[in-house]
């Protein structure tokens, strides 16, 4: 049981979206051809997930966000959390820091939600969930991030989330967004057949924490998985990497008023990075490095 929300359809990819699967047809094009309409957002892995994925690159970030105008949700799927046992608070903190470091290396702007993938066979504990939230919260990335797994009361993530909430003394777990991985079919759907919103939830009191739902995976000939997302997360500044704003056309000027023509703007990845990495952020990371907060320290 879950409460209905206004949602949009996107897709998660383990391989580059800008890679051609046949002449003049990228992987993203192929998915949208199957779906029959433009996808509202894209999810991509920032690491290999133990070999299952090809990591996102700065060039693909730029292509997705600024060329194809797709809001982007990065996924961290390190082999330490996907398919294994994730039990300690300290490992949760470490995984959050690794996600942050990897996101910075490919130019994911600050203020973006980073997702930890704990689907599949991963055994998750409440201690690890608290560690992830406490490790993510002090960073320049948004909230306590997102965790992606089975969110029902008996699921590997739903049960551990409730345990983490009960033991939470910082308030960070309350900031966590959940992404349910309950598949409802083995095949994809078109834009005319979008499922109603009904992901699994931990319990009735926490239904609002689940804001993304993977309805199925490996569809359209293994091209991607299909996901529904709360539309509020697609608003610029809400937590996904969103396209740069293109200046609006100039309005007609009143008589005798000077006409001011805005300078041309050419969005580029360099511009995104320059605006994202501020002096304040550099100071933040200098302090964290000195305190031994960066992965590997």
83-141 pLDDT, tens digit per residue, is 666 688 999 999 999 999 999 999 999 999 999 998 876 788 999 999 999 999 999 99
- Residue 31: the pLDDT is 96
pTM for the predicted model, two decimal places: 0.80
DSSP for 79-107?
Answer: TTTSSSEE--HHHHHHHHHHHHHHHHHTT
Alpha-carbon distance of 121 to 216, in angstroms, equals 17
Phi–psi pair at 72, nearest 5 degrees: -125, 135
Burial readout 98-117 (b: 16 or more C-beta within 10 A, e: otherwise): bbbebbbebbbbbebbbbbb
pLDDT in tens, 14-52: 999 999 999 999 999 999 999 999 999 999 999 987 778
Confidence at 196, pLDDT banded by 50, 70, 90: very high
Please name every residue paired with 25 in a beta bridge, in sequence order, or none if there are none.
22
> Are 50 and 79 in contact, with CB atoms under 8 Å apart?
yes
Q: Where are the domains of the chain?
A: 7-234
Q: For domain 7-234, give the fold.
A: TIM Barrel (3.20.20)
Model confidence at 287, in pLDDT bands (50, 70, 90)?
A: very low
Which residues lie below 8 Å from residue 85, measured CB to CB, with a gap of 6+?
Answer: 122, 123
Q: What is each CA distance from 180 to 28, 63, 214, 239, 263, in whole angstroms?
A: 23, 27, 6, 18, 44
């Amino acid at each position: 049981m879950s409460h209905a929300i206004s949602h949009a359809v996107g897709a998660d990819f383990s391989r580059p979206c800008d890679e051609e699967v046949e002449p003049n047809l990228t992987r993203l094009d192929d998915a949208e051809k199957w779906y029959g309409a433009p996808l509202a957002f894209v999810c991509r892995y920032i690491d290999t997930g133990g070999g299952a994925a090809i990591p996102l690159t700065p060039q693909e970030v730029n292509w997705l966000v600024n060329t194809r105008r797709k809001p982007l949700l990065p996924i961290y799927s390190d082999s330490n959390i996907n398919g294994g046992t994730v039990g300690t608070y300290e490992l949760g903190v470490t995984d959050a820091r690794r996600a942050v470091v990897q996101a910075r290396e490919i130019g994911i702007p600050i203020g973006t939600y980073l997702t930890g993938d704990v689907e599949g066979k991963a055994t998750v504990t409440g201690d690890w969930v608290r560690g992830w939230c406490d490790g993510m919260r002090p960073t320049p990335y948004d909230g306590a991030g997102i965790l992606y797994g089975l969110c029902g009361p008996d699921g590997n993530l739903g049960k551990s989330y409730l345990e983490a909430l009960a033991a939470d003394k910082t308030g960070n777990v309350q900031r966590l967004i959940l992404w349910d991985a309950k598949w409802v079919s083995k095949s994809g759907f078109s834009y005319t057949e979008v499922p109603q919103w009904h992901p699994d939830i931990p319990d009735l009191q926490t239904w609002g924490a689940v804001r993304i739902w993977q309805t199925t995976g490996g569809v359209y000939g293994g091209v991607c998985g299909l996901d529904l997302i709360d539309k509020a997360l697609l608003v610029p500044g809400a937590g996904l990497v969103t396209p740069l704003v293109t200046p609006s056309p100039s309005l007609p000027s009143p008589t005798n008023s000077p006409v001011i023509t805005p300078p041309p703007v050419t969005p580029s990845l360099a511009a995104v990075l320059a605006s994202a990495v501020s002096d304040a952020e550099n100071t933040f990371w200098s302090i964290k490095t000195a305190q031994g907060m960066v992965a590997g320290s």
